Structure 1
């Protein structure tokens, strides 16, 4: 059976009929790519209409014709053959001596023609004689099939480091990192499909941190730009420091495929919010306000007007509500990264900026809020038509069509021990139980099927209310090479210090060793302070020690522009809060002052911060802190180790999950201040009762009874 991967095409009818042919002829095997690959030539990009790669037939290129005009089809076959031959000869593993070891065949497919003649040298086929043409093709030396398939599916080698590594010690951390980067340089089949498969409508891509969502989205933008250079395409995001990364990824892929630079006027990497001034300050929300002549709010204005919970989402919703005509399409495609960081109103705003057929692609991480509700279903996000039907509905998938909902379940950034540790601490799987509710779990999915979506298998038990369950990751979703290069205790280290000064000294000494002994580069290291409000205050002490050692450093977004994370202009260690860390990664990650993540008034946010920080690491992570709360966090981690990096717990009941959600509800600043004031009042009352300054008889009996009834 042929696996069909449907990319962007300007020949929809003939593409559909070709797909139907292979669906009805199940005796054939391999992969049929529609709208892929794109071959770079001296005259610019040359898109192939469709390509079939088969173990029995080799490569079969299909030149597709819409209508009945077949004039010049023979010269087009010669051109397609020569360009594919030149492309494949660029891969030494497919060439022996001077001979390409791959069979290339060309068929022109035009379902509208009527012909009884068949030209074996230049086959021109409809559905009736296509089978005859295919049967006449054979590949004698198909030992190169797997290599050929790898070449065609290896869309890009952009995962390799930006700079070549100068390795002197074969067992250094730098050498191990080079091995990791070489092992994940190519995209896997699922990621390749996510890049190529194109929907005339809304498409979502879900996956864990490290599953390649950002890479897929960048390559998808470049692929669509190569196929349709006249389209207006926008790619947007929440973390401003991702802008440089997106530009590098898109530029690398586009040049690989087309031998040209992208047209940055038609392919825009644009902020979500934006501001007046044009150029780098532009943003989708600001553009919408200008286009529709509605009030624009900057961050300060929006915060004062709508509050601190979601000022951007509220500003987007207000702009939509003020708009009289919301169907002013500007873009042909909009791609949104980190969609979990946006409210549905921003997605609706982007949807309204699109021309028909409203091509919107949004990628997000199911775990960004762990126990919180995920983004709503698309039927809810995008609202309803006047007749009450949803504007967006994910249809049942057919073999001919691209998937609207893609899940990337394999994690290529974090090793199994690091990822399971992040989940265990993020959910509070091994946290000391709260005797009142019978579990220490901080948060939990409402939908237990999400565990399998993010790459966990059930080893024993079942993820059902009140039932014990053991969840594990497998080599299929957590590749072994991500953990085999180093001992587990080196991959993940949690360490407690008596004082913050000792923590700072230890981190600085370790960074010095990373640079001087371990053969790591400056951009292989990130230092994350989980609380963004204290980063400027707490990191200067470590930076001062590094300065004395002659090691420069910077705070992302403070010492650099907001769009810069790693300083490409000079060698410098990056320090950051959690928000600017999102979307970025490094081989060695130091999470400092992690004791603040153990417990707080907003447990979900604290634990999510720790989860996000740990999952920035693509090799080694150090979680560091001071005091008893750090010791308690280490106690949780020791249970992760004791369970061999599996999640072994009793699944919370619906009642327990209800309580957990109440405990971890989002609160406004006023609500938090009120809770803090009431806690202080209760503590003061208890202390006065214990010290005999007041007696319970002094308190109103009715109030005491009401309190007793509520607590019991």
Structure 2
């Protein structure tokens, strides 16, 4: 069976490239990866990109010099040049060398589909092929000392990821079985992109592209590499990268910078490729932001957070109102950028994406990446047809309509092991939560479309994945690679622990961190401590930080003790403490989620609390400890123990449309004012109940219509 995976970059030779793809895809038994217009290589003469590169575990690397038309020119010289350039790139990787010998086998072929008599034009030792003789030529090539590990390392080197994926500083380990040694092995194992990620990086869509994926599926890396690839291919384009979490700025800058240097030998031109905060403010380039820039170009009034909160309301309403206000002024496209890439789109209101769309030149290249369950704002992004509106004839301006190039789903999770990810989903959705009194489901929230579970990499173990039916879901080895969990026992990977009180919780966390650094060979930047409530993070983290300080361990509160754009302090050897918002987009080997009891409760706002817990757990690329105290922890421990008994499968009765509608209402997010009004109404209802019980008020005292309506509503009928 043929499993060649094609990634279509730009090489300026579309007709011959399509012929090559067609020919390779029909060679029986051939597998591997084929990139068009990739990789880019830095040379003394400037940037150089390969017409096509084919990687195969039995044949090695096959480089294609593609000829569009009938003039092959001095193709032998081109082949020599091509091999020399790729060889010099690969020789920089020590793992690919034995002494002075390059381990991967390199072949080169000139492919000229428009030429019939290739034999007559062929030079000795320089293969020339068209569609007829290419299959035999390819099948005749081989790699004498083929090696799976060398092949994996070669793929990583061609993708230019080996240096980009490296951790923030060199990892020194002495014990072969320490947590630090295990983490080093994990980091080395994910130095290649899978086919879907590669396609998302290299393929350029003329128009809007959506990238969906789980936490840890590589969305941020894909966006960073895509921005860098577009910049090296189109240096004159104005490109913007934006996001919600301030601390992502440094990560984006590092990834883009490394990729551009490796690909083109030059640092990016930061005047053309800009990494911008979403909001921004006056005060120079570093403070610039997408919204501020839109206001500056359109002449609309700029609101800072305080002014927007006063005018439009607090929390997420402030930025939404500010963006809508700017959009009202913009009557025609601002055409500031050629491409805008948006990370963490689930945390933005539709108005921000519409603002980005209004700032683009045709053909409106907007790439937005999101994970629905990491949405901490309580609102959901509508489909693109609703999001971007219609033209004068009523046709949707943007529609993906099953186009996999425009709507990329990253199924594989490379950060969280299967037990960690399934735990995050089980607690985030409340799969094993006990139903409250007079309620028929314990679920906190659920995907509107059941099929989304399969799209994010689950499969049906038993039952039926449809509304109202029972279903058991499990992760597969394909979407949750086994090496992510095989390094440690499951009981080590994820622990949920209840303590008698906050003092004992804090003392335990401090002791564990000390052990991580002293015995487990973890570095300071391998550890994150997350307080799910962003408002109380400073106060609730203070005690643990004080204990650590007394033991000579330095720590910092991200965005408070550091600049807003800084999350880790690898230079100082300092453990990161953070609230949930600043934790987003970041990852570490060991994650401690403290005061987790705050993520349980009843009624309004529960879905947001559970999303915070989901997001905190999924920061871990190794081990996670969810700790807390009090009654709220009892529920979380019960849910986790039930999940373990079910062997990390998600067993549930999928809610009906009616139940889904109720979940959205019961657990919706409320503003402080709305919460106060709800509590007031609950209090009034309690007073009414007590008055009826005591006889102070009789049922007959209520008018017949009110009495009938109350009975009807309490009976569950509308």
Same fold (TM over 0.5): yes
Q: Shift in Å at residue 229 of structure 1?
A: 2.3
Q: Which residue of 2 aligns with 1:105?
A: 108
What is the alpha-carbon distance in structure 1 between the residues aligned to residue 118 and residue 411 of structure 2? 48
Q: Shift in Å at residue 684 of structure 1?
A: 4.5
What is the alpha-carbon distance in structure 2 between the residues aligned to residue 111 and residue 670 of structure 1? 71
Q: Which residue of 2 aligns with 1:322?
A: 329
What is the alpha-carbon distance in structure 2 between the residues aligned to residue 628 and residue 213 of structure 1? 36
Q: Is the CA contact 1:94–1:148 (under 8 Å) kept in the aligned structure 2?
A: no
Cα 1:428–1:676 change in 2 (3 A) is same
* Counterpart selection for 1:607 from 602, 610, 620: 610
Cα 1:576–1:104 change in 2 (3 A) is same
Cα 1:233–1:613 change in 2 (3 A) is same
Q: Shift in Å at residue 227 of structure 1?
A: 2.0
Is there any run of 5+ residues in structure 2 with no aligned partner, and where? none
Deviations 1:174-212 (A, max 9, x none): 122222222223223332222222222222111100111
Q: Shift in Å at residue 480 of structure 1?
A: 1.8
Matched, 1:444 2:451: no
Matched, 1:367 2:373: yes
Residues 34-183 of structure 1: matches in 2 within 5 Å? 34-53=36-55, 59-64=61-66, 75-91=77-93, 100=102, 102-107=105-110, 109=112, 111=114, 117-121=120-124, 129-132=130-133, 135-136=136-137, 138-141=140-143, 143-144=145-146, 147-148=150-151, 151-152=154-155, 155=159, 156-157=161-162, 158-183=164-189
Residues 275-674 of structure 1: matches in 2 within 5 Å? 275-308=281-314, 309-326=316-333, 328-369=334-375, 374-394=380-400, 397=403, 403-600=405-602, 601-674=604-677
Q: Is the CA contact 2:57–2:151 (under 8 Å) kept in the aligned structure 1?
A: no
Deviations 1:314-362 (A, max 9, x none): 3222212211222x32222211111111122222222222223222211
SS of residue in 1 equivalent to 2:229: helix
Matched, 1:206 2:198: no
Cα 1:275–1:68 change in 2 (3 A) is farther
Farther off after superposition, 679-688 or 647-656 = 679-688
Deviations 1:56-95 (A, max 9, x none): 8654433345677766655434322321232344456666
What is the alpha-carbon distance in structure 1 between the residues aligned to residue 525 and residue 37 of structure 2? 37
Q: Shift in Å at residue 511 of structure 1?
A: 1.4
Residues 245-284 of structure 1: matches in 2 within 5 Å? 245-284=251-290
Q: Is the CA contact 1:371–1:446 (under 8 Å) kept in the aligned structure 2?
A: no
Cα 1:701–1:341 change in 2 (3 A) is same
Farther off after superposition, 681-690 or 590-599 = 681-690
What is the alpha-carbon distance in structure 2 between the residues aligned to residue 375 and residue 64 of structure 1? 43
Q: Structure 1 length as normaliser, TM-score?
A: 0.91
What is the alpha-carbon distance in structure 2 between the residues aligned to residue 141 and residue 57 of structure 1? 5
What is the alpha-carbon distance in structure 2 between the residues aligned to residue 248 and residue 82 of structure 1? 29
Q: Shift in Å at residue 595 of structure 1?
A: 0.9
Q: Is the CA contact 2:83–2:106 (under 8 Å) kept in the aligned structure 1?
A: no
Cα 1:357–1:49 change in 2 (3 A) is farther
* Counterpart selection for 2:231 from 220, 225, 230: 225
SS of residue in 2 equivalent to 1:484: coil
Q: Is the CA contact 1:107–1:122 (under 8 Å) kept in the aligned structure 2?
A: no
Q: Shift in Å at residue 689 of structure 1?
A: 6.2
Q: Is the CA contact 1:546–1:552 (under 8 Å) kept in the aligned structure 2?
A: yes
Is there any run of 5+ residues in structure 1 with no aligned partner, and where? none
Q: Is the CA contact 1:8–1:224 (under 8 Å) kept in the aligned structure 2?
A: no
Q: Shift in Å at residue 103 of structure 1?
A: 4.0
Q: Which residue of 2 aligns with 1:6?
A: 8
Cα 1:273–1:67 change in 2 (3 A) is farther
Cα 1:500–1:641 change in 2 (3 A) is same
Q: Is the CA contact 1:38–1:258 (under 8 Å) kept in the aligned structure 2?
A: yes
SS of residue in 2 equivalent to 1:612: helix
SS of residue in 2 equivalent to 1:317: helix
* Counterpart selection for 1:236 from 217, 233, 242: 242
Cα 1:317–1:23 change in 2 (3 A) is farther
What is the alpha-carbon distance in structure 1 between the residues aligned to residue 116 and residue 319 of structure 2? 55
Q: Is the CA contact 2:458–2:474 (under 8 Å) kept in the aligned structure 1?
A: yes
Q: Structure 2 length as normaliser, TM-score?
A: 0.90
Cα 1:498–1:656 change in 2 (3 A) is same
Farther off after superposition, 19-28 or 652-661 = 19-28
Q: Is the CA contact 1:153–1:189 (under 8 Å) kept in the aligned structure 2?
A: no
Q: Is the CA contact 2:79–2:108 (under 8 Å) kept in the aligned structure 1?
A: no
Q: Shift in Å at residue 661 of structure 1?
A: 1.5
Farther off after superposition, 135-144 or 169-178 = 135-144
Cα 1:667–1:676 change in 2 (3 A) is same
Q: Shift in Å at residue 563 of structure 1?
A: 0.6
Q: Is the CA contact 1:6–1:35 (under 8 Å) kept in the aligned structure 2?
A: yes
Cα 1:520–1:81 change in 2 (3 A) is closer
Aligned residues: 704
